[in-house]
Amino acid sequence: MPLFDIQISPDEPVYVISVVSKLLNIPVWTLRQLDKVGIVRPKRIGKKSRLYSLKDIKKLEYVHYLMQDKHVNISGVKIILEKEEIE
């Protein structure tokens, strides 16, 4: 029997940047850059802390695929994501 049976909404920001970095194997500085250019917008707690949701993590998985496997830079990723939202 599981100790906890917690249901977390995919939109609920609960993951700190260090955890997201380890889960996705994306350096923290890259996550900060992706936030800076608006590719992903984690919720801010205070001035420093960023909290990511499951939706953010799913998007970042795709971003990581584009960057690592397809060798797309951050500017290219932003353009791809903008195009996909329109269509």
Polymer length in residues for the chain: 87
Q: DSSP states of 9-72 as a string?
A: -TT---EEHHHHHHHHT--HHHHHHHHHTTS--PEEETTTEEEE-HHHHHHHHHHHHHHHTS--
15-86: CATH number: 1.10.1660.10
Confidence band (pLDDT; 50, 70, 90) for 87?
low
- How do residues 44-82 score in pLDDT, each as one tens digit? 998 889 999 999 999 999 999 999 999 999 999 999 999
| Model confidence pLDDT, tens digit, residues 21-50 | 999 999 999 999 999 999 999 999 988 899
> For the chain, what are the domain ranges?
15-86
